Amino acid sequence: MAEQIYQQALLRLEQAAEYSKAAPETVERLKRPKRILEVSVPVRMDDGSERVFTGFRVQHDNTRGPAKGGIRYHHTVHLDEVKALAFWMSFKCACVGIPFGGGKGGVIVDPRKLSMLEIERLSRRYIREIAPIIGPDTDVPAPDVYTNARIMAWMMDEYSALAGQPTPAVITGKPVSRGGSIGRDDATARGGFYIIGELADRRGWKASEVRIAIQGFGNAGQQFAKLASGAGYRIVAVSDSSGAIHCEKGFDVDALIKSKDKSGKVTDHSEGDKIDADKLLELDVEILVPAALEGVITKDNASNIKAKTVLELANGPTTPEADEILADADTLVIPDILANAGGVTVSYFEWTQNKSSYYWNKERVHDELKTIMTREFSAVHDLKEDRGITMRTAAYTHALDRLADAHEATGTRSDF
């Protein structure tokens, strides 16, 4: 799967190019990352031994601004995966109109097998190894899978030590006490929630009649469940690595989160029935929210999906083959580069606040995020309707047009 993921990402570009004003030269440039760095990350373990981990940082494009993208710690991290994620970040930032390019980082490691001190040593050493190519005006990392605000604080602290001065704008997703933005904790979910609100207005939905299944109950899944249930939507199924549970009348989301926090497993919750995790995707619900890893909706299960709206809070959860099946079934897929862009948008707010040393209150963060998410959803939806294409192709076309404006203003032209 990892070997195929970058080719799948490029397929999205080729589909969008058919509808975009981008010059062929621009499309060719965007097929290749600007820079790939592979590093060795030696770490002194608690028992005195040394292990050497492999890390990556990929900068896909920086034409519209500094590269931007998370750092993930996972034993399955693969260079093609990191390249694809960096590619998606270029298009995600362009889709919502924020002045960043695309980047991504990763370390091949299972952090669950490391102590907290070992993770800190790993994080600090990794940032030292990639320090020559990152910076507030060149490449701004952030958290991703199995990294968090504390790890970002370690990384910012390490970079600042190398720079000889406090440099909070080099990393986003930090604790508020270390220059992080209020409102960053639920930004990914909140951005998706604002999109659902806009779609509900267009379709005349009554929230209490809308059932939602969430595949993945980490931060994004939990926060989306809280926001949606607070607005009256019924969260009828959730899953994590332990399995899935289903409750047709809707879960008490606060109780479910407490249960998950206590045991680490949604399947230990007393409410609802256990179901096969794969079956959650096929439940009879109005909205399906994949909020875990990529590649979970495939040609093998897409035809069984009953939800008529799929909100991709995860990166790359739907394969191109599955997209075709869902499109034929008239299922509206709100693609990742739009649906989960709330996270990078509030990261942009954090970077802006760090650069200016002027910090916003929660109301301003939420208002600014809602303005951007609803504006860009409307633009993509209108493009979809005008061109008769899918939401994904419309989102990529919308982003590619912006990338083309930037590339072609600085030299790439179709009439050379």
Average pLDDT over residues 241-258: 95
CA 329 to chain centre: 26
Q: What is the pLDDT of residue 145?
A: 86
Q: What is the pLDDT of residue 241?
A: 87
Residue 414 has pLDDT above 50, yes or no: no
What are the helix (H) ranges across 131-216? 149-163, 187-203
Active-site residue set: 104
Numbered ranges of CATH 3.40.50.720 in the chain:
187-334
Homologous superfamily, domain 187-334: NAD(P)-binding Rossmann-like Domain (3.40.50.720)
Q: What are the pLDDT digits (tens) for 29-39?
A: 999 999 999 99
Yes or no: say if 314 and 340 are a contact pair by the CB < 8 Å rule.
yes
Average pLDDT over residues 63-75: 97
Instruction: Name 250's Cβ contacts closer than 8 Å, sequence gap at least 6.
Output: 211, 229, 234, 235, 236
141 beta partners: 69
Yes or no: say if 226 and 257 are a contact pair by the CB < 8 Å rule.
yes
Q: What is the pLDDT of residue 410?
A: 80
Residue 165 has pLDDT above 90, yes or no: yes
Yes or no: say if 204 and 382 are a contact pair by the CB < 8 Å rule.
no
Closest CA to 158 of 181, 138, 144, 174: 174
Q: Among 3-17, 101-115, 240-254, 315-329, whose mean pLDDT is lowest? A: 3-17
Helix 362-387 crosses helix 79-96 at what angle (to 10 degrees)?
90
Q: Among 17-21, 65-69, 306-310, 411-415, whose mean pLDDT is lowest? A: 411-415
Question: Quick count: other Cβ atoms within 10 Å of Cβ 254?
Answer: 12
Homologous superfamily, domain 32-169: Leucine Dehydrogenase, chain A, domain 1 (3.40.50.10860)
Residue 27 has pLDDT above 50, yes or no: yes
User: How close are the terminal C-alpha atoms of the chain, in Å?
Assistant: 39
What are the helix (H) ranges across 204-252? 219-230
Closest CA to 168 of 185, 151, 184, 180: 180
- Rounded-to-integer distance, Cα 23 and Cα 17, Å: 9
pLDDT band at 326 (very low <50, low <70, confident <90, very high): very high
- Rounded-to-integer distance, Cα 261 and Cα 241, Å: 14
Average pLDDT over residues 178-183: 97
Q: What is the pLDDT of residue 416?
A: 41
pLDDT band at 269 (very low <50, low <70, confident <90, very high): very high
Q: What is the pLDDT of residue 5?
A: 84
What does the mean pLDDT of the chain come to? 95
Average pLDDT over residues 153-159: 98
Yes or no: say if 88 and 129 are a contact pair by the CB < 8 Å rule.
no
- Rounded-to-integer distance, Cα 326 and Cα 343, Å: 26
Cβ burial, residue 171 (10 Å; 0-12/13-18/19+): buried
Residue 15 has pLDDT above 90, yes or no: yes
- Rounded-to-integer distance, Cα 278 and Cα 297, Å: 10
Looking at the chain, the whole-number percentage of residues with pLDDT higher than 90 is: 93
Q: 191 to each of 16, 257, 341, how far by Cα in Å?
A: 23, 20, 7
Residue 413 has pLDDT above 70, yes or no: no
Numbered ranges of CATH 3.40.50.10860 in the chain:
32-169
